[in-house]
Structure 1
Amino acid sequence: MILHELISLDVLRVIWWGLLGVLLIGFALTDGFDMGVGALLPFVGKTDTERRVVINTVGPVWEGNQVWFILGGGAIFAAWPPLYAMSFSGFYLAMFLVLAALILRPVGFKYRSKRESAAWRNGWDWALFVGGFVPALLFGVAVGNVLQGAPFHLTDDLLPVYEGSAFGKLFGLLNPFALLAGVVSAAMIVMHGAAWLGLKAEDPIAGRARRIGIWAAGVAFLGYALAGIWLAFGIDGYAFAGEVATNGPSNPLFSEVNKGGSWLAAYGERPWIAIAPVFGFVGMAMAALGLKSRRDLGTLLWSKLAIFGVISSVGLTMFPFILPSATDPRSSLTVWDASSSHLTLFVMLVVTVIFMPLILLYTAWVYKVLWGKVTEDDVTADSGAMY
């Protein structure tokens, strides 16, 4: 037997669907509080020193946290080529905005303190706000559009064709449901950033962050509930029309897909997945209570649980669909027909099993070394801070 045949293709497909979710959740859990801190920066720091404290709570770790984003993009490219081709070509204007906003963060961190000018520093502080808030909002908008289906189809030779003009590709994404998903995402990230500042900063910075975080948690909770109701009664789901070949060829046109019904039918078929939205609601509620009662470490953990629950609820609700087509349901990309080859998935899994534990161990070590609060004395001492 060839080594890679020890694990069947359908199992490898599910494993890589799960690993993609792990990478996206890992990005939201780590880089999420970086973005949340950036979004909070102009509002929780009233003086230049306070804003330096805020920046230095994430300064030593933000670059490492972005590894999860890079790994997620690499996993999509290698494990799900049709998804990469469709999303990175059809959504390229939106992707450009996200990347432009993300680029503002390293530039802002590096250049903010190069001049003593208050106007100069204030301008970079708002650039850091954009670098934190805009990606958080647009990531949610993307999820909202995925749940509704993207306007694309595949030709007979599997060439993806995104329908609409270039500007339509961008502004067409800004529909009401997608914007609601964006608000949930942004509020959740702000909540996460507030939980981080409560843990890493002192009053009055931490107190201001907690007050904003409580409101953000409330917005995220109500928006998530509204999105669930909207998804149940106002958004069509997708389902296979017949038997599915889970070990079949990587050809979306090989299967028949129907659009209609509700995405939430998945909870009737697999009741256990209801644990995901429960985690989301409980995490947000407990994070709000933790922010109010100043239980900082517990609050950060509850915030992480909320993010885990919300993101995993989307993946579990849609499974096995990963990018439905609104205009040609048959072209929809699923776990069973949009993956790389059996050998590719196996080799990638072996590499992941070797290197993922190393990444996790190194990350844990970094956070252990950097444990503790950042104070004004830290950023004004002769030894200085990073920013």
Structure 2
Amino acid sequence: MISNLDYATLQQLWWIICSIVGALFLFLTFVQGGQTLLWQVAKTDLEKSLVVNSLGRKWEMPFTTLVLFGGALFAAFPKFYATSFGGAYWVWMLILFSFIIQAVSYEYRKKPNNLLGAGVYELFLFINGSVGILLIGAAVGTFYTGSNFTLDLYNRVTWDYTLMGINLRGLEAAFSLFNLSLGIFLVFNARYLGALYLLNSIDLSSTPELESRLRKNAWISFLIALPFLLYVLISILFMKGFGVDGSGTVSLVSYKYLSNLLAMPYLFVMLLAGIILVLYGVLISSFKESVKGIWFSGLGCFLVGLVVLCLPAFNNTAFYPSKLNLQSSLTIYNASSSMFTLTTMTYVAIAIPFVLAYVIYVWRQMDSKKLTVKEVLDEESY
């Protein structure tokens, strides 16, 4: 069956697979969001230990998913990987550095006689959850706004954006209002997801004050995230996009992404359903004393993320446009691996459902019992 798929179908299939992984990462950023809440919701050392140990059960998952996302893009769309990671060097290096200090922080925060002290490692966790996620949002925003690169006949990348004589190599993405708004939305999106997860994973019966702060912060973070989300969505609907004609020529097209939504109504349905699920999850957690909001809002974030990643790639659209030379823009067709590579990868991808089933099983085992104060006090903790 797989061997009968044509090249274009394989290219589209692998963009969908990569988008699913990226959308899953968006859900898993509840870890980063919870880290940014640490100093706001935890007022005692015990409460800090509860928060950090709850997040510590899952801290590897968003990092692993981000690496998987990069690996899938590298294998399926090597031209994009080389262009983005080669040109926007400083953006991706800062993102990776923020995840490195996250791993170090969970390992050494509670080590006896550590050199820096717990407060410094908690600051590292905050940087990972704020700066790291902000830069990821800015990087994703370039799928819509474009980047300052050109490709020559040999696909060598030239990145041309200087500030006071310094080549920013992708950092200029954070100067775009659209990219910055998307980044800020992702930061506060992660914060309310983090609050919802902590409500679900910690036994808060002995710490009602912590529960109250978490519910309050979930609602506040959602309210802060909402205008940035609305700005991003409205901008997408009315901005010019980068269309590709039958000969492969790229040109600016008015209302391109609105046209894409109308041409692919299932994306519009997913977007609307995602927003409703997010709102429902936040409301039942903030005002109905439910602890199940993370599952509704998490699924909603996954659906919204999937739409945001798929919208700029399909319906004859350049998903990584060049602002310096439109014809250097990348599409899923000119940036992908060979048919042989994609076919081989598709056979390997048959194992993905089994891997997901194992992840779900392990997750259920880890969260089968809520984290308690006694567990934190009696066992080695982060």
In 1, Cα distance between equivalents of 2:115 and 2:75: 46
In 1, Cα distance between equivalents of 2:275 and 2:196: 16
How far off is 1:294 after superposition? 2.1
Q: Tell me what 2:172 maps to.
A: 172
Where in structure 2 are the equivalents of 1:1-387 lying within 5 Å?
5-30=3-28, 32-115=29-112, 120-165=117-162, 167-174=167-174, 175-201=176-202, 202=204, 203-233=208-238, 235-240=239-244, 242-243=245-246, 255-262=248-255, 263-292=257-286, 293-297=288-292, 299-320=293-314, 321-354=318-351, 356-371=352-367, 372-381=369-378, 384-387=379-382
Q: Given residue 190 of structure 1, which amino acid in structure 2 is its aligned partner?
A: R
For the Cα contact (< 8 Å) 2:139–2:179, is it kept in 1? yes
How far off is 1:78 after superposition? 0.8
For the Cα contact (< 8 Å) 1:60–1:386, is it kept in 2? no
How far off is 1:212 after superposition? 1.0
Q: How far does the alpha carbon of each residue in 1:259-300 deviate from its partner, in whole angstroms, 9 at most, with x for none?
A: 131222212222332113213321231122022122112x11
How far off is 1:170 after superposition? 4.3
Q: How far does the alpha carbon of each residue in 1:35-90 deviate from its partner, in whole angstroms, 9 at most, with x for none?
A: 11111111111111111111111223322443221211111111101110011011
RMSD: 2.0
Q: Given residue 260 of structure 1, which amino acid in structure 2 is its aligned partner?
A: V
In 2, Cα distance between equivalents of 1:136 and 1:279: 24
SS at 1:113 equivalent: coil
For the Cα contact (< 8 Å) 1:115–1:121, is it kept in 2? no
Q: Given residue 7 of structure 2, which amino acid in structure 1 is its aligned partner?
A: L
How far off is 1:310 after superposition? 2.3
Q: 1:118 to 1:171 in 2, by over 3 A?
A: closer
In 2, Cα distance between equivalents of 1:329 and 1:117: 52
In 2, Cα distance between equivalents of 1:100 and 1:48: 27
How far off is 1:171 after superposition? 4.0
Q: Which moved more, 1:286-295 or 1:97-106?
A: 286-295
How far off is 1:194 after superposition? 0.8
Identity of aligned residues (%): 26
In 1, Cα distance between equivalents of 2:181 and 2:143: 13
Q: Given residue 281 of structure 2, which amino acid in structure 1 is its aligned partner?
A: A
Q: Which moved more, 1:102-111 or 1:136-145?
A: 136-145
Structure 1 residue runs without a partner (length 5+): 245-254
In 1, Cα distance between equivalents of 2:2 and 2:140: 33
How far off is 1:119 after superposition? 8.0
Q: How far does the alpha carbon of each residue in 1:198-225 deviate from its partner, in whole angstroms, 9 at most, with x for none?
A: 1012133232122111111122222211
TM-score normalized by the length of structure 2: 0.91
Q: Which runs of 4+ in 1 moved over 3 A?
A: 115-119
SS at 1:333 equivalent: coil
Q: 1:52 to 1:228 in 2, by over 3 A?
A: same
In 1, Cα distance between equivalents of 2:262 and 2:236: 15
Q: How many matched pairs? A: 368
How far off is 1:4 after superposition? 6.5
SS at 2:158 equivalent: strand
Q: 1:115 to 1:10 in 2, by over 3 A?
A: same
Q: Given residue 386 of structure 1, which amino acid in structure 2 is its aligned partner?
A: S
